Amino acid sequence: MPNRRTALTACVATLLLVSPVGAEDEKGRHDPPTISVTGTGKISAAPDVAEINVGVVSQGGSASEALAANNEAVAALLDVLKSRGIAAKDIQTANITINPRYSQPEPVRPEQRTRDFVPKIVGYEVTNTVTVTSRKLDKLGEVLDAVVTAGANQMHGISFRIDEPDKLLDQARKDALADARRKAELLAGEAGVVLGAPLLIQEGGDVRPPQPLMYGAMRAAMAEAVPVAPGEQELSVTLQVVYRIEPAK
């Protein structure tokens, strides 16, 4: 004879199997039966804006000497950028650092005794990093050549983006809703029910910019403009859509 706990478990399972599709709340009301799906819309387009992070590193025997040299080099860099058509609003100082430079121990031969080494400050190094927004990608290679020639000796990366993505995102939303509808109609047909109106539409947008192009220390000058390939950028939108369903007539 089965024990009481086993019988109670079987009873609960039976109740779950024969319960109606809609859930019942504490007041006895039933939520309508639904189908929940996820729709995705993707749009690819060529970027029209590039952001460049360039730096000028200068050294000197004193902090003031290094800073003066760096200020002069950065001023020349800014003049070149403006002459290339870069607006003042698209040039922004990102970071300035002043660090001491220390002496290094001389190499010691294996037969020699090691001695305690106390580093001393032998000079200073100043780094000024500038973020530049270029809105003419057909001239980007010339801009890169110009900034290096002007004295920029570091490039931390280039990234591309779409300046005004709203219209593209709106099209991605339409495609995402159509994708959700297609999936819901397929599921409803397979389940033998009729698809009704959407009860909930929730957006979870996602913009996927390409990975930045990274460069290390750059040469002091280049013979010709740098070739640049911005490629395409993908914009995507994800929608969570809940549809009401009705029994087939």
pLDDT (0 to 100) of residue 5: 43
Domain locations in the chain as residue ranges = 49-104+116-163
Model confidence at 48: pLDDT above 80: yes
Q: How far is residue 241's CA from residue 202's CA, in Å, rounded to a whole number? A: 6
Q: What residues contact 157, with CB distance under 8 A and at least 6 apart?
A: 52, 53, 212, 213, 214, 215
Model confidence at 104: pLDDT above 60: yes
pLDDT (0 to 100) of residue 150: 86
Among 17-31, 51-65, 77-91, 156-170, the minimum mean pLDDT is found in 17-31
Pick 214 or 60 by higher pLDDT: 60
- CA atoms within 13 Å, Cβ hemisphere of 242: 7
Model confidence at 174: pLDDT above 90: yes
3-state secondary structure of 101: strand
Which of the four pLDDT bands, split at 50, 70 and 90, describes residue 146?
confident
pLDDT (0 to 100) of residue 149: 86
Among 65-69, 118-122, 221-225, 243-247, the minimum mean pLDDT is found in 221-225
Q: How would you class 208 by CB atoms within 10 Å of its CB: exposed for 0-12, middle for 13-18, buried for 19 or more?
A: exposed
3-state secondary structure of 208: strand
Model confidence at 163: pLDDT above 50: yes
Q: Tens of pLDDT along 50-70?
A: 999 999 999 999 999 999 999
Which of the four pLDDT bands, split at 50, 70 and 90, describes residue 212?
very low
Among 42-51, 136-145, 179-188, the minimum mean pLDDT is found in 136-145
Q: How far is residue 164's CA from residue 160's CA, in Å, rounded to a whole number? A: 13
Q: How far is residue 54's CA from residue 143's CA, in Å, rounded to a whole number? A: 11
pLDDT (0 to 100) of residue 233: 87
Pick 161 or 229 by higher pLDDT: 161
Which of the four pLDDT bands, split at 50, 70 and 90, describes residue 237?
very high
- Record: fold of 49-104+116-163: Alpha-Beta Plaits (3.30.70)
